[in-house]
A = this chain, B = another copy of it.
Amino acid sequence: MTENDMKLAIAQINTTVGDLEGNISRILDAAEKAKDADLIVFPEMTVPGYPPRDMLYDTSFVEAVQTATLDLSRRTGHLPPLLVGSFAPSGEKHYQHPSLHNVAYLMKGGEMRVAQIKQLLPVYDVFFEPRWFVPGRKTMPPIEIAGRNIGVMLCEDMWDEEYPTHPGAELKAMGAEMLVVMSASPFRKGIGEGRLYHAKRQDLPLVFVNLVGATDELIFDGGSFVLNGDRLRRFEEEARVLTMDDGRQAMSHVSSSIAAEEDLFRALVLGVRDFARKNGMKKAYLGLSGGIDSSVAAVIAAEALGGENVTGVAIPSRFTDSQSTESARELARNLGIKFESLPLEKMHEAAEQALGAERSGGVSGENIQARLRMIVLTSYVNSGGGFLINTSNKTELTLGYSTLYGDMAGAVSPLGDVTKAEVMGLARWINSGLNVGRLQNVGRLQVEGLIPGFVVERAPTAELREGQADPFDYEVVSPQMEEMVLADQANAMMRSGEHKRWQMGVVLKVSGRSFGRGRMFPITRR
Which residues of A approach B to under 8 Å, CB–CB? 16-20, 22, 49, 51-55, 57-58, 60-61, 92-97, 120, 122-125, 128, 130-131, 156, 159, 161-164, 215-216, 274-275, 278-279, 342-344, 346-347, 349-351, 353-355, 358-360, 362-364, 367-368, 371-372, 374-376, 378-380, 382-383, 387, 404-405, 409, 411, 487-490, 499, 502-506, 517, 519-526
Considering the chains assembled together, what is the distance between the CA atoms of A162 and B153 in angstroms? Answer: 30
The residue on B at minimum CB distance from A381 is B364
Considering the chains assembled together, what is the distance between the CA atoms of A353 and B29 in angstroms? Answer: 53
A58 contacts B522, C-beta separation under 8 Å? no
| A–B Cβ pairs within 8 angstroms, 25 of them | A55-B488, A57-B488, A58-B488, A61-B490, A93-B163, A93-B164, A94-B164, A95-B163, A96-B125, A128-B131, A274-B524, A278-B524, A278-B526, A279-B523, A342-B354, A344-B354, A346-B350, A347-B354, A350-B350, A360-B379, A375-B375, A378-B405, A404-B409, A506-B523, A517-B520
Given contacts A358-B383, A374-B405, 12 further A-B contacts (CB under 8 A): A17-B526, A52-B525, A54-B488, A95-B161, A128-B131, A342-B355, A346-B350, A349-B350, A371-B371, A371-B405, A378-B404, A503-B505
Residues on B with C-beta less than 8 A from A387 are 499
Give the contacting residue for A97; candidates B54, B123, B504; CB below 8 A.
B123
Give the contacting residue for A526; candidates B16, B54, B358; CB below 8 A.
B16
A55 contacts B521, C-beta separation under 8 Å? yes
Given contacts A275-B524, A506-B499, contact A519 B93 (CB under 8 A): no
B525 contacts A55, C-beta separation under 8 Å? yes
List the number of copies, as a whole number: 2
Within the complex, the shortest CB–CB distance from A490 to chain B, in Å, comes to: 7
Residues on B with C-beta less than 8 A from A156 are 95
Residues on B with C-beta less than 8 A from A521 are 53-55
Interface centre among A161, A344, A502, by most B CB within 10 Å?
A502
Residues on B with C-beta less than 8 A from A20 are 526
Give the contacting residue for A351; candidates B131, B216, B347, B517; CB below 8 A.
B347
Considering the chains assembled together, what is the distance between the CA atoms of A20 and B359 in angstroms? Answer: 38
Considering the chains assembled together, what is the distance between the CA atoms of A336 and B372 in angstroms? Answer: 32
Residues on B with C-beta less than 8 A from A519 are 54
Residues on B with C-beta less than 8 A from A131 are 123-124, 128, 520
B355 contacts A379, C-beta separation under 8 Å? yes
The residue on B at minimum CB distance from A161 is B95
Residues on B with C-beta less than 8 A from A161 are 95
A504 contacts B503, C-beta separation under 8 Å? yes
The residue on B at minimum CB distance from A353 is B346
Considering the chains assembled together, what is the distance between the CA atoms of A164 and B278 in angstroms? Answer: 39
Given contacts A347-B350, A488-B58, A503-B503, contact A524 B371 (CB under 8 A): no
Considering the chains assembled together, what is the distance between the CA atoms of A504 and B500 in angstroms? Answer: 10
A522 contacts B53, C-beta separation under 8 Å? yes
B128 contacts A128, C-beta separation under 8 Å? yes
